[in-house]
Amino acid sequence: MLIGHGVLILRVDVSYMKVLLFLPSTLTIDPHPHVESSLPHFARRIRHFFCSCRREIEREGEDIAKRQKSATTSSCNLKRSEEVCSVGTTTHRYPHHDYSKDIATNVANPLPLVRHTAITITITITITTPDSIAMPRVSASSSPSPLASMASTLRAYALPIILFAGAMFYQLFLIPNAFPPSHYDVLQIESYSSVDKVKEAYDKLESKWNSAVEVFDIHEFLKIRYAYELLTNPLWKRDYDIFGIDEQLHIVESASKRYAGKHISELDFPLLQAPSGSMDHSSKVITASDFQYIFPDVRPWLIQLYSSGSERCAQFSKSWNKIASLLDVVANIGMVELGEKELAIYLADRRSTGKPFFRNGIPSLVAIPAGCRAAKCISRFDGELTVDKVTNWFATTVLALPQINYYSRESLVPNFLGKTSHHKVKVIFFSKSGERAAPFIRQAAKDYWAYASFAFILWREEESSYWWGAFGVESAPAIVFLKDPGVKPVVHHGSVNNSFFLNLMENNKQQELPQLRSVTSMELGCDPHGYSRAGYDTVMWYCAIAVGRPSLELNKMREIMCRVQETLSKHSQVDASSENQSLAPAVDAFKRRRLTFAWLDGEKQKDYCQFYLGNAASDHTCGQRRSVTDIPRLFVIRYLRNSSAVDLRTQEKTKWKSLLVQDLINDSDQAGQFVAGYKGEDDVSQIVHWLANIIADGDSRDLPFFVSFINF
Question: Tell me: the pLDDT tens digits for 613-651?
Answer: 876 666 778 877 776 777 888 999 988 887 654 443 334
Cβ atoms of 62 and 79 within 8 Å: the answer is no
pLDDT (0 to 100) of residue 422 = 81
pLDDT (0 to 100) of residue 142 = 52
pLDDT digits (tens, 9 = 90+) for 502-526: 999 999 988 888 888 887 888 888 8
Each as own residue / partner, the long-range contacts of residues 643-649 (CB below 8 Å, 24 or more positions apart, any chain) are: 643/539, 643/705, 644/705, 646/672, 646/705
pLDDT (0 to 100) of residue 154 = 78
pLDDT (0 to 100) of residue 555 = 86
Lowest mean pLDDT among 35-44, 85-94, 157-166, 626-635: 85-94
Q: For residue 339, what are the contacts with CB-CB under 8 A and spacing of at least 6?
A: 238, 308
pLDDT (0 to 100) of residue 300 = 93
340 pLDDT higher than 50: yes
Q: Say which residue, 165 or 10, is predicted with more confidence.
A: 165
388 pLDDT higher than 70: yes
- Consecutive H or E run containing 10: strand 2-12
Q: Say which residue, 421 or 48, is predicted with more confidence.
A: 421
pLDDT (0 to 100) of residue 92 = 37
pLDDT (0 to 100) of residue 89 = 37
Q: Average pLDDT in the 468-490 region?
A: 91
pLDDT (0 to 100) of residue 710 = 39
Question: Count H helices, E strands: the chain?
Answer: 24, 22
Helix ranges (DSSP H) in 472-551:
498-508, 521-524
Q: For residue 575, what are the contacts with CB-CB under 8 A and spacing of at least 6?
A: none
54 pLDDT higher than 80: no
pLDDT (0 to 100) of residue 295 = 78
- According to DSSP, the residues that pair with 10 across neighbouring strands are 19, 121
Cα–Cα–Cα angle for 270, 276, 280, nearest 5°? 145
pLDDT (0 to 100) of residue 602 = 82
Beta strands 633-641 and 671-677: pairing type?
antiparallel
pTM for this entry = 0.61
* 58: phi then psi, degrees, rounded to nearest 5: -65, -40
pLDDT digits (tens, 9 = 90+) for 405-447: 999 999 999 999 988 888 899 999 999 988 889 999 999 999 9
Q: Say which residue, 580 or 57, is predicted with more confidence.
A: 580
587 pLDDT higher than 60: yes
Which of 371, 363, 370 lies closest to 390, judged by CA?
363
Lowest mean pLDDT among 10-14, 62-66, 346-350: 10-14
SS3 102: helix
pLDDT (0 to 100) of residue 147 = 74
Residues 361-382 as b/e (b if ≥16 CB within 10 A, e otherwise) read: bbbbbbbbbeebeeeeeebebe
Which of 329, 304, 309, 194 lies closest to 245, judged by CA?
309
Q: Average pLDDT in the 244-262 region?
A: 88
Q: Say which residue, 450 or 82, is predicted with more confidence.
A: 450
Helix ranges (DSSP H) in 614-683:
659-665
Q: Say which residue, 284 or 145, is predicted with more confidence.
A: 284
Q: Provide the mean pLDDT of the chain.
A: 76
117 pLDDT higher than 90: no
pLDDT (0 to 100) of residue 79 = 37
Confidence of residue 572 (pLDDT cuts 50, 70, 90): confident
In the chain, what percentage of residues exceed pLDDT 90?
Answer: 33
pLDDT (0 to 100) of residue 384 = 92
Ranked by mean pLDDT, the top range of 68-72, 416-420, 464-468, 659-663 is 464-468
Q: Say which residue, 487 or 304, is predicted with more confidence.
A: 304
